[in-house]
Structure 1
Amino acid sequence: MSAARKPIMTARQWAVGIAGYFSFINLYSPQAILPLLASEFGTGAAGIATIMTVSTLAVALTAPLTGTVADVLGRKRVIVTAMFILFIPTLMCALATSLNVLIFWRFVQGLVLPPVFAVTLAYIGDEWEPHEVTGIAGIYMSGASLGGFSGRFFTGILSDFFGWRPAMMVIAVSTLAGALAVLILLPREKKFVRSEGLAASGRQMLQHLRNGQLLAIYAAGFGVLFCFILTFTYINFRLAAPPFNLSPTWLGAIFVVYLVGSGLAPTAGWAVGRFGRRNVMITVIGIWIGGILLTLAMPLWLVLLGLVICAACGLICQAIATGFVSITAKAGRSSAVGLYVSCFYAGGAFGAAVGGVAWTIGGWPACVATLVAMMVFIAMIVFFLWTPRIPPAPPLSTADPR
């Protein structure tokens, strides 16, 4: 009798993807309606982009502390608790009566997110074998990209039909459902080694900051989200203006490009195993530069093609970098990933802020020039500082239930 077929996805793999999904559906849900919010609150592109800046900045500020706490308390407990708490600031964003109030609750929302995605990435590094980590990180990134797409897409559609406040309320309620799903599906960690205390975990964090390889990965992560946030924040203002004049529904639909990234992110494990981390990263960054240059075109289909390339390349780079952190850090993975997340989202905050300056100075062409400069910087970091000291992971088996 033939052996039973393995499921395509195990329960814990589903849980990892769901955690990524509901983190990013919350973080990026306002992005497709930024022009609508700017009009309602009487501000410009740089002003309304503050709601993106403060949330990513909050993530950057709290991610390292999240890592040290999770090294003491354990992974699942922190992930599930944070997902339930996330409902509150998301609901309060929907009830905000002024831009300042909205900015405040977006900041609080950002404070709650690191216990979800930073600790999920640490969970991946602990619970899967090293050669599986990049592929599982790809599953997480697929969930994250689907969440990013869903937040923008459904918020855009619901805002057109019912208003942006009901749209945010739907996001809040769905987050509660996601928290319940992770509570049920995610097994308690088995390979987790509890830190001796916050002081010991803090010492591990200092050791990470002395690790040149980790610092190089953190620098690349900074640049990746810098480019992502700048691109998908300010492209909305270009597409909402003449000659495109896209409505919130169509601006949300534009983010279907994330689905391409969702499909390609899990292939990062195979590519790294075959060609090596540095080679894959540098190649993908080169393609990414070509994609962002396409967004300068006038036909909408070329702009969309450029955004597809940007989404796929950004998510692949993120999957490679996060997997590399988990493999490089031999101890205190939560704090190591927490530091990575901090640098990553600091890059996002800077991307939103610097993008506002670039947009004010020269519109979308100035934004593209800024993006190309940052992508060249990432490529140089990877080429010169990502050492081959840690061998690339071998290709995942075709029997792996990804």
Structure 2
Amino acid sequence: MVLADVGPSRTFPIVLAGFTAFLDLYATQPLLPLLMRVFSATHFAVSLTITASTVAVAVAAPAVGRLADLVGRKRVIVASAFLLAVATLLAATADSLPQLVAWRFLQGLATPGVFATTIAYIHDEWPPSHVGRATAAYISGTVTGGFCGRALVGLLASRVTWQTAFVCLAVVNVAAAFALAAWLPREVVPRSAPGGGGHRRSAIRLLSNRQLVATDLVGFCVLFSQVAMFTYVTFHLSGPRYGLGTAALGWLFVVYLVGAAVTPLAGRWIDARGHRAGLASGVAIGIVGAVLTLGASLTSIVAGLALVATGVFISQATASSYIGAVTREDRGLAVGLYSTFYYLGGSLGAALPAVFWARGGWGASVALVIVVQVITAFLALTFWGAADVGSRAVPETGLE
């Protein structure tokens, strides 16, 4: 049984869950040049404020996915949203870089309870013909949350302090958690029983699914590309040539809103044309955008970043919706495993480009991202097969 009503009243809480999950996760990106000055730290050291949270997500995601399979999706989503608010408030108390990194790790531990569980919730509660667009709506929420977190932190840190910015984020987190508790519908589909044989056998069974493993690796590459581009561009644009300050770097992420507008349309494309077409288009857009960021003008760089963001969000919506096409049980665990690969990619994307930056600056970092994007397309086009039409298994009904 799936939802008969998949209209805006049921979709908005999904968008809000995406907003909540990504409000804090990358909030320190516009602060990185500032944190280097405040703590007299290196590029790599301050990038740990990104890496710590993404590593924590990767560690926690499989366990949270399994927990959601057992106790229910909504319970895990709401509890995790409140825990995320507490962790964000604690981050505001940090008076050293190691303390900030530690609280960022706690934020990451809370995040997959919202992120991974909501994707599994969509696959259970929406008809297959609408999973692509529901996932795309969720991704739009993550895009909007990511932008708002970065812009809010950048603006407040430039005018007050970065600690005040985190307090404000915590307030928004609490409000979102209460809204999710009130508005997110309880599951209509009964909780699926975990596959036979226990957690270990379920994990082995999922990892023997070649299409699912390929999807996990696609997720790894997608977040690697996003984090690498949007972390190291802050160093590029805060340098002597452009001299952007903390507030301006925060507003730079307004390009995310382009992706937020385009991704729902991409969801319909995925439902109609299939996942491989959706992924290939996302990668192509991202590569074009990456090349544009090599231009000398700030306009070219911003336009390129808008395309990179759009391509990444289309790719993420495609990969997330493909999970449901190739799994029929243990979906919470399947999404948890995907999240682990996804955020390990983000962790490496925050750290590895530092090596390329040291040797070749922004150009070398962009070249690395383009190579990873090509690998992303290769994985999908090689290993995604007949299940690519999974989201179209049920005929179009006209439901929204």
TM surpasses 0.5: yes
Equivalent residue letter for 2:45? G
Deviations for 1:234-262, whole angstroms, at most 9, x for unmatched residues? 00010111211111111111111000110
Partners of 2:311 and 2:140 in 1: CA distance: 13
How do 1:48-59 and structure 2 match up within 5 A? 48-59=46-57
Counterpart of 2:316 in structure 1 is: 318
Q: Report deviation, 1:160.
A: 1.2
1:221 matched to 2:224? The reply is: no
Are the aligned partners of 1:73 and 1:194 in contact in 2 as well (CA < 8 Å)?
no
How do 1:1-400 and structure 2 match up within 5 A? 9-10=8-9, 12-195=10-193, 200-391=198-389, 393-394=391-392, 399-400=398-399
Partners of 2:280 and 2:288 in 1: CA distance: 13
* TM-score (normalised: structure 2): 0.95
Structure 1 unmatched runs, 5+: 1-5
Partners of 2:14 and 2:151 in 1: CA distance: 22
Q: Report deviation, 1:163.
A: 1.2
* TM-score (normalised: structure 1): 0.94
Equivalent residue letter for 2:128? P
Work out the percentage of aligned pairs sharing the same amino acid: 38
Q: Report deviation, 1:346.
A: 0.5
**Secondary structure of 1:131 counterpart:** helix
Equivalent residue letter for 2:216? Y
Structure 2 unmatched runs, 5+: none
Are the aligned partners of 2:284 and 2:311 in contact in 1 as well (CA < 8 Å)?
no
Are the aligned partners of 1:46 and 1:357 in contact in 2 as well (CA < 8 Å)?
no
Distance 1:121 1:52, change over 3 A: same
Q: Report deviation, 1:68.
A: 1.0
Distance 1:303 1:323, change over 3 A: same
Comparing 12-21 and 218-227, the one that deviates more: 12-21
Are the aligned partners of 1:25 and 1:147 in contact in 2 as well (CA < 8 Å)?
yes
**Secondary structure of 1:29 counterpart:** coil
Deviations for 1:251-286, whole angstroms, at most 9, x for unmatched residues? 111111000110111122221233322123123212
Partners of 2:205 and 2:25 in 1: CA distance: 30
Q: Report deviation, 1:203.
A: 2.5
Equivalent residue letter for 1:247? G
Partners of 1:396 and 1:94 in 2: CA distance: 50
Partners of 1:181 and 1:221 in 2: CA distance: 29
The number of aligned residues is 395
**Secondary structure of 1:306 counterpart:** helix
Q: Report deviation, 1:388.
A: 2.4
Q: Report deviation, 1:287.
A: 2.1
Comparing 138-147 and 284-293, the one that deviates more: 284-293
Comparing 345-354 and 265-274, the one that deviates more: 265-274
Q: Report deviation, 1:342.
A: 0.6
Partners of 1:37 and 1:198 in 2: CA distance: 49
Equivalent residue letter for 1:157? L
